[in-house]
Amino acid sequence: MNFPYIIIDDDQESVLKTKAIADGFSELVFVASANNYADGLNLILEHSPKLIFLEIDPADTTSNLSLALINELYRFLKVIPKIIITTGKKDLAFEAIQYEVTDYMIKPLRRIDFIKSILKIKKAIEEDEVSITQNQLIKTPQELKVEQSKSTDDFQESIEEKILVLNKNTQDPIVKEPKATSEDTTEEDILALDEISAFSEEQIPEVYLQQSNPNIEQPLILCIKSYGDYRYIDTNDICFFQADNNSTDIHLNNGEMVTAFKTLKHFEGVLPYPFARIHNSYIVNRNYISRIHTGNAVCYIKNTTTKLPFSKSYKENVDLIISEFANGNYLEI
């Protein structure tokens, strides 16, 4: 699921910082940026993004950036994009809530804020899709009666069309006569009716509705390139990353280790969810965590004896992982 986004901010340095963090998420696709109200509105109407990062307390007052931009969108769009407010003050948070913004992030922006916002957006979209599906499935008795009547009429029309085709081929067109009584019905009439009935049963094909499979998002493939050697790794198979000076060791679920000549900070900037940094030396795939001991400040890796420490500076990431487990299919005993 991708989210094309636009950044609207009067500070160009702030635009670059927002984009730098967003580039670390494969779900976010940069479209364009604007520095004032008019240009921002035009970009939204032109590109129809799913997500907007909006500054509402600009340093340059001539940019006219404010929550009023959201009101303007309702004049032109049936579906309003998800809007995330990015500003340096908390003062306008209550007012922003009245405009039903998706999130409110305080500058300087942090990667963890983006993770939380993306999770919120995904959850909201999934709930909307479920609601739409349920509305489509629920029909009143009157609607069902109309559909049944329409289906019967369509079937009857199909029968009549095929009967006409049959008679054209035999060059013996049927002329509709008033229905005969049982006394007037001859043996020839009975044989003709039997022939038509047999045709309608044998020649009309059955129609089956085949449900199309939803598009399955392809897993992210990590390519480790070295002197013409291309090593492709499915990120779903990666348990954790470990820093080793200016290189990084990638530990796979089969026990294998691959070395990449990039720093751990580089991987932190490009890896999407479910990877999270928990220590100066470790990035972990939360899908391979089997246990978190907050007292000892360690994470346990599934099906191994490996224990990864987490530091106070990244404790917030660990807390987020704990909350994600609790929000899933979860039973606490």
Nearest-angstrom CA–CA distance, 196 and 98 = 68
CATH class of 3-135: alpha beta
User: Tokens 């910082």 belong to which residue?
Assistant: 17
- Among the listed residues 22, 83, 25, 76, the one whose alpha carbon sits nearest the alpha carbon of residue 55: 83
CATH no. of 221-327 = 2.40.50.1020
The answer to whether 25 and 4 have CB atoms below 8 angstroms apart is no
pTM value surpassing 0.85:
no
Task: Output the DSSP codes for 193-218.
Answer: HHHHHHHHHHHS------PPPPPPPP
The answer to whether 86 and 96 have CB atoms below 8 angstroms apart is no
pLDDT number for residue 32: 93
pLDDT block averages, 10 residues each, the chain of length 333 = 90 91 87 93 92 94 92 89 92 88 91 88 74 58 59 60 55 49 56 55 49 61 86 94 92 93 90 91 95 94 94 90 85 85
Which uninterrupted H or E stretch holds 128?
Answer: helix 111-137
In degrees and rounded to multiples of 5, residue 241 shows phi and psi of -110, 140
Beta-carbon contacts of residue 288 (< 8 Å; ≥ 6 apart):
239, 240, 253, 301, 302
pLDDT number for residue 117: 87
In degrees and rounded to multiples of 5, residue 141 shows phi and psi of -55, -35
The reply to whether domains 3-135 and 221-327 share a CATH topology is no
Residue type, 295: G
Structural domain spans, the chain: 3-135, 139-170+196-209, 221-327
